[in-house]
């Protein structure tokens, strides 16, 4: 997740030092489909024996980023793209998904500490994080411009934000997108920083600002849920989001990749994305650490 990237990098770097000291696998960025994976008929064939015995795939996510991960209204039941896709993957593996909510900055340390088997929480697949974990990529997203419904300012691209009052979330990659654009503007933007995306939208509601930049699937959700905004189609600094798996668990990595391959083939993957209106963020093929699995 781009808005959470900065908080996680320090933790990942610390973990990398620990893993190096323990002599853990250092397979790096290699997608590296194993011989067993190449010969397997189904994802179930690749499930590690320890998981096969428990029958449970332990999944961690960090609630509060709809439509990717959230609670069902009035309940403590986790739902969204990530919990639903995790359940579909577990079913392909012949396992039952057990999804746990955890603090975002504790997700990867928990994975390293064997508290869960995979992490699905809108994690950007970055070089820094690949120092600690492998990723099976399942989503592609970047920042998108949001404006009031009807687009009264006629904004079409980042260039059109020059000279405008714009609100951007503190510490987010979307703030970085706006600031980078502002360097090119002859007539500078008037940038206000909000605590988060919802707070920024309140600024648009009041007329103090005319646009913001939000991660595209989240922007699509706000448009759908409120009917008060429009999201422009172009995405900026788009990149893959991945399912994080401990580097020691290469068999599980291949099993999850195979499950994704099966879900792409039978329409299960598309069904989950369609349910939340984010089909435009689909990856075209199974990717491991940003590279084709095959």
pLDDT in tens, 73-132: 899 999 999 999 999 999 999 999 999 999 888 999 999 999 999 999 988 898 888 999
Average pLDDT, stretch 155-164? 97
Q: Does residue 287 sit in helix, strand or coil?
A: strand
pLDDT 10s digits, 175-233: 989 999 999 999 999 999 998 788 899 999 999 999 999 988 889 888 988 999 999 98
pTM (predicted TM-score): 0.75
Residues with Cβ within 8 Å of 132's Cβ and at least 6 positions away in sequence, in order, are: 12, 15, 16, 19, 108, 112, 247
CA distance 19 to 82: 27
Phi, psi of 75 (to 5 degrees): -135, 175
pLDDT for 56 equals 98
Asked whether 169 and 194 are in contact (CB, 8 A), the reply is yes
pLDDT beyond 50 at 18: no
255-274, pLDDT tens digit by residue?
999 999 999 999 999 999 99
pLDDT at 33 (0 to 100): 64
Task: Tell me the two tokens of residue 182.
Answer: 């502002």
CATH 3.40.190.10 residue ranges of the chain are: 43-140+239-288, 142-237
Fold of 43-140+239-288: D-Maltodextrin-Binding Protein; domain 2 (3.40.190)
Helix axes 216-226, 197-205, angle to 10 degrees: 50
Q: Who contacts 190 (Cβ-Cβ below 8 Å, separation ≥6)?
A: 164, 165, 166, 209
**Third-level CATH fold of 142-237:** D-Maltodextrin-Binding Protein; domain 2 (3.40.190)
| Helix, strand or coil, per DSSP, at residue 221 | helix
Give the separation between CA 53 and CA 101, rounded to whole angstroms.
24
């Amino acid at each position: 997740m781009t808005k959470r990237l900065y908080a996680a990098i320090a933790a990942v770097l610390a973990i990398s030092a620990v893993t190096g000291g323990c002599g853990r696998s250092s397979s790096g960025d290699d997608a590296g489909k194993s011989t067993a994976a190449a010969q397997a008929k189904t994802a179930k064939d690749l499930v590690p024996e320890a998981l096969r015995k428990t029958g449970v795939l332990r999944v961690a996510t960090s609630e509060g980023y709809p439509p990717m991960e959230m609670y069902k209204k009035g309940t403590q039941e986790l739902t969204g793209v990530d919990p639903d896709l995790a359940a579909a993957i577990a079913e392909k593996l012949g396992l039952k998904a057990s999804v746990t909510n955890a603090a975002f900055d504790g997700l990867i340390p928990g994975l390293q500490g064997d508290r869960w088997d995979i992490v699905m929480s809108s994690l950007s697949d970055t070089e820094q994080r690949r120092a600690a974990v492998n990723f099976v990529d399942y989503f592609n997203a970047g920042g998108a411009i949001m404006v009031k419904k009807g687009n009264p300012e006629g904004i079409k691209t980042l260039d059109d934000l020059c000279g405008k009052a714009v609100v951007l979330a503190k510490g987010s990659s979307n703030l970085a997108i706006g600031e980078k654009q502002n360097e090119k503007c002859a007539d500078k933007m008037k940038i206000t920083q909000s605590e988060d995306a919802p707070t920024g939208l309140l600024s648009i509601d009041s007329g103090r600002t005319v646009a913001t930049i939000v991660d595209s699937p989240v922007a699509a959700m706000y448009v759908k849920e409120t009917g008060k905004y429009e999201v422009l189609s172009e995405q900026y600094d788009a990149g893959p989001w991945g399912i994080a798996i401990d580097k020691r668990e290469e068999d599980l990595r291949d099993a999850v990749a195979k499950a994704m391959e099966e879900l792409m083939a039978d329409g299960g993957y598309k069904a989950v994305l369609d349910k939340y209106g984010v089909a435009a963020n689909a990856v075209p093929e199974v990717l491991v650490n940003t590279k084709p699995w095959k």
